[in-house]
Structure 1
Amino acid sequence: MRELSAGYGQGQVLHGLDLDLSAGRALALLGRNGVGKTTLVSTLAGLLRPTGGRVLLDGRDVTGWRADRLARAGVALVPQGRRVWPTLTVHEHLALATRHGGRTWPTGRVYELFPRLAQRRRHLAGQLSGGEQQMLVIGRALATDPRLVLMDEPSEGLAPIVVDEVAEALRAVVRDGLTLLLVEHDLHLALGVTEEAAVMVRGRIVHRRPTPDLRGDLPTMQRLLGVAA
């Protein structure tokens, strides 16, 4: 994306933001609350129309495309707060999401990634625990055979043991070459599953480096993210 601007009403949130993500790479998008991370994800997913700049997907200008058109082009969203359909079963969620016959991520492969979903395939989504719902939403995104997955706070509200399960699944799909933009407040998770990290401040990217380097740079993490010593 180039010089991307977006906001709500008269309030500007993104201010000429520049960010590149190469195919097959995983990038953590970090920042304090209110800096614009969710606004950026919503803009890239087509839920919010940009007010300036350009968004490119595989070199193709997709600026201002609607969410449904972006989804068909290969952009998948794992939204904050999960948002499952409570009266559909696990299997129905995955079947509805499957694109092109599920060439890369058929339902069976999603079940291999999340065995708990296989065990609950006939359960209604509204009957699942919060962790199981998060696994379902990630699986639903993968079932679309995406080129790019946008994840917004996948660990929110989850017990630590479930966060570990989600982290292991994300590491597996990243090793498989998934292109991932991960917004996550849990730095252990974010820096543990991605190759690079970018930090937002006031609607702009102000810092970017490989995650091992950032993990070892406590002064920068303290200054930009408020990490305690």
Structure 2
Amino acid sequence: MTALAVEALTAGYDRSTVLSGIDLSVPTGGALGLLGRNGVGKSTLVMTLMGLVSPTSGRVLLDGRDVAGLRPDLIARAGVAIVPQGRRIWASLSVAETLALATRGHGRRWTVDTVLDLLPRLRERLGQQAGQLSGGEQQMLAIARALLTDPALLLLDEPSDGLAPAIVDQISQLLTTLRGEGVTLLLVEQDLHLAFAVCDRIAVMEKGRIVHEVTTAEFRADRATAHRLLGVA
């Protein structure tokens, strides 16, 4: 089954077009790593999928239902959650208050207790203001906040940004665990090691388009293409 199918999606800001006919899909329980140089439209795609940027054309299908152009709250209720670049946690709220605000109610798979079991460091910080957490702890809180909406599809925009390698390894382990729990992932990332560890397919964007998509194993084996598209060895 396909959790996410994007068809000919076009979007931008004011009179500027950023996304020019995006096509991609992620199977249920799969993980797609979205790579590309800065400024090619990766974050715009994530925000458009979440309803934070309005598309001008195209479709966004969640389990076959077109949600393109819906309000963000309706897209969230349809099963999509976002972990935004820069985390964007509420600095003045405690960890406990942040988790309480994100909780969607009873009968959900992800509860505060299950999230804290997955992220025990946050349990130790429940009474602490989110703005006083380390960068890694804030990233864990941003992921916990998203999980508490009980998503079927999790959009992550640069979760490794600004974090030490040891913390990135923890993020990698966490995302791998979430895949094992059946959560579908779309991961925008500059850290190739993280993308390769978590994702089974890799797509590359250039100038608002998907220009290359293969399995992770194929991408890692084709160093010439990786260097041409990303400028890395």
Find the partner of 1:218 among 223, 230, 233.
Answer: 223
| Aligned-residue offset at 1:222 | 0.7
Unpaired runs of at least 5, structure 1: none
| Aligned-residue offset at 1:135 | 0.4
| 1:86 to 2:64 alignment | no
Q: TM-score, normalised by structure 1?
A: 0.96
> What secondary structure does 1:132 align onto?
helix
Q: Distance in 2 between matches of 1:143 and 1:210?
A: 30
Assess if the C-alpha contact under 8 Å between 1:5 and 1:13 holds in 2.
yes
Q: Distance in 2 between matches of 1:27 and 1:196?
A: 5
Find the partner of 1:19 among 24, 29, 38.
Answer: 24
Q: How does 1:123-138 map to 2 (within 5 A)?
A: 123-138=128-143
Match of 1:2 in 2: 7
Q: Distance in 2 between matches of 1:45 and 1:123?
A: 29
Q: Distance in 2 between matches of 1:111 and 1:121?
A: 10
**Is the deviation greater in 27-36 or in 84-93?**
84-93
* Residue deviations 1:71-118 (CA, integer Å, cap 9, x gap): 111110100011111121112212221224262211122112211111
Unpaired runs of at least 5, structure 2: 1-5
> What secondary structure does 1:21 align onto?
strand
| Aligned-residue offset at 1:173 | 0.7
Assess if the C-alpha contact under 8 Å between 1:35 and 1:201 holds in 2.
yes
The count of corresponding residues between Structure 1 and Structure 2 is 228
C-alpha distance 102-225 of structure 1, shift in aligned 2 (>3 A): farther
> What secondary structure does 1:43 align onto?
helix
Whose strand fraction is larger, Structure 1's or Structure 2's?
2
Letter in 2 for 1:25: G
Match of 1:173 in 2: 178
C-alpha distance 152-102 of structure 1, shift in aligned 2 (>3 A): farther
Letter in 2 for 1:178: V
> What secondary structure does 2:159 align onto?
coil
Q: Distance in 2 between matches of 1:155 and 1:18?
A: 25
Match of 2:122 in 1: 117
Q: Distance in 2 between matches of 1:152 and 1:87?
A: 23
| Aligned-residue offset at 1:11 | 1.2
Q: TM-score, normalised by structure 2?
A: 0.94
> What secondary structure does 2:18 align onto?
strand
| Aligned-residue offset at 1:33 | 0.8
Match of 1:40 in 2: 45
Match of 1:199 in 2: 204
* Residue deviations 1:23-54 (CA, integer Å, cap 9, x gap): 11111011111111001001001100001111
Q: Distance in 1 between matches of 2:106 and 2:231?
A: 45
Letter in 2 for 1:224: L
| Aligned-residue offset at 1:214 | 1.0
Assess if the C-alpha contact under 8 Å between 1:102 and 1:143 holds in 2.
no
C-alpha distance 102-135 of structure 1, shift in aligned 2 (>3 A): farther
Q: Tell me how large the CA RMSD over aligned residues is.
A: 1.1
Match of 2:149 in 1: 144
Letter in 1 for 2:167: V
